[in-house]
Structure 1
């Protein structure tokens, strides 16, 4: 029988930090966890816009400012955050025009991967249980990881390829983090998951005519944001979920369906590339993990 949020046990006394929780999958994840008694911290770039959303959700829901495109903001958030149980690295951008973060990183990779790499490392000693990182079926859409030019200094920018690279990085990061937890003898866990395809605002920010037609089309081939949040909820709350499994829907090429062990690309399983990505992320952000 397919897993459903109704199987989540009482989460009273547990605290979850969710990045980008002011809409889409993050908002749906917040609603379910709060309904189960959890305290949820919505870590959002625009706290003022997030507050009305938090106010409309029953339960202990709080808002904190976090801009993943600014490492100073990431450090400030980490310094102000106390101990908690689960970090859900949910925020992301998709197929946006070329730009750079405040620290000079290509924006999709800088926000989707580097911001979350830095955040997780700075919070590591405050996380009691696990880290959930949202990847995507789009991780399969890049032929390689340009580990020597992740910031597009020496190649032409292709927005779809940049997104795929960032999602591949998310999955590689989740797997390398779990490998390092195991190596250190830590009981903490790291999960890579994907939500399938859902008509969230990710599909309306490309600044192209596609924005007008993407959501109606995605509603046909994908699943609702509430259903797409199942993967994050499963990995965040299931006591016995295997952290070495890539969890997500598998039907219609991974676009929809129940949460199951999901296939991933051969490239995403390359442990040498996990290590090289980690070392480059450490060099660029200056964040060194202490296990």
Structure 2
């Protein structure tokens, strides 16, 4: 992408296009939905908390549709996917961060289950209906993660909430790269793109149920950029004609924590094609969503 300061004003006319934004009831998802709808798009707000999503939809108006989606429950993911006729861009935005150990409806560790496996299943179930691209939100904290293929769901290891979060965000990034490799092999025109918001002030940091909630509330005031700025890399990935499949976009500032979107790097682990292929196979087995790229 050119070395310019890309902003929401550069989203361009999205009239006639449909976007799904998971977790669009608050934070980055809310900003993303509002921006896309303001550019003329039809936006499906796919949210666990429908009551909060309805508030955002009311602000948007006729261009918004609210649908219930709980990524921590594969039955909900399937029901949502069955309700969608077609979509130009799927934005896998929803997520949880640094929670105490708990499990999804299907028995997965909550962070890998929601952030990765839920979105993996959603993408697979919607794949034949996606016309343009899949955008998956990761994090700079993917660097703190490792994929444990023998204990993805923390059934045998001592649980560490931050390592679990890092694993889930690394999985998001590896899924993006592996999806693009499979799209290329299939000759598909669909693009798989990753993005991260840097350090953006959102409600995500207020739900760790630990002292980190207080610490990060201070960081939000002193260090973080706004949710509006944090949403830009994802918006670029979702709308820019020159957003490249298999690439990662984030803020350009120091440490990729703040600033306008640019192409950014990722760890050596995120580019391990062998682990990525095995993670894909494991994700298929755990979710039951298989063979969606032919």
State the TM-score, normalizing by the size of structure 2: 0.96
1:253 to 247, 252, 255: 255
1:86-113 alpha-carbon deviations (Å, 9 max, x no partner): 0000000000110000000000000000
Q: Secondary structure at the match of 1:16?
A: strand
The answer (yes or no) to whether the contact 1:198–1:219 under 8 Å persists in 2 is no
* Residue aligning to 1:229: 231
Q: Secondary structure at the match of 1:154?
A: coil
Q: Does 1:181 align with 2:158?
A: no
2:84 to 81, 84, 91: 81
| Mapped partners of 2:182, 2:36: distance in 1 | 28
1:226-251 alpha-carbon deviations (Å, 9 max, x no partner): 11000111011111211132111132
* Residue aligning to 1:164: 166
Cα displacement (A) at 1:57: 2.2
* Residue aligning to 1:52: 55
| Mapped partners of 1:52, 1:195: distance in 2 | 23
Cα displacement (A) at 1:49: 2.4
Q: Secondary structure at the match of 1:64?
A: strand
Moved beyond 4 Å, runs of 4+: none
The answer (yes or no) to whether the contact 2:16–2:42 under 8 Å persists in 1 is yes
Q: Secondary structure at the match of 1:56?
A: helix
| Mapped partners of 1:185, 1:222: distance in 2 | 40
Q: What is the root-mean-square deviation of aligned Cα atoms in Å? A: 1.1
State the TM-score, normalizing by the size of structure 1: 0.97
Q: Does 1:26 align with 2:65?
A: no
1:201 to 190, 200, 203: 203
1:254-290 alpha-carbon deviations (Å, 9 max, x no partner): 2111111112101001111110110000010010132
Q: Which deviates the most, 250-259 or 181-190? A: 250-259
The answer (yes or no) to whether the contact 1:203–1:211 under 8 Å persists in 2 is yes
Q: Does 1:129 align with 2:146?
A: no
Stretches of structure 2 that go unaligned for 5 or more consecutive residues are none
Instruction: State how many pairs are aligned.
Output: 290
Cα displacement (A) at 1:147: 1.2
- Counterparts of residues 85-164 of structure 1 (less than 5 Å): 85-142=88-145, 144-164=146-166
The answer (yes or no) to whether the contact 1:35–1:59 under 8 Å persists in 2 is no
* Residue aligning to 2:9: 6
Q: Which deviates the most, 278-287 or 207-216? A: 207-216
Q: Does 1:242 align with 2:244?
A: yes
Cα displacement (A) at 1:59: 4.9
| Mapped partners of 1:6, 1:199: distance in 2 | 21
Stretches of structure 1 that go unaligned for 5 or more consecutive residues are none
Q: Which deviates the most, 9-18 or 239-248? A: 239-248
| Mapped partners of 1:239, 1:273: distance in 2 | 30
The answer (yes or no) to whether the contact 1:113–1:169 under 8 Å persists in 2 is yes
Cα displacement (A) at 1:58: 4.4
1:186-216 alpha-carbon deviations (Å, 9 max, x no partner): 0000001111011111110011133134123
| Mapped partners of 2:5, 2:24: distance in 1 | 25
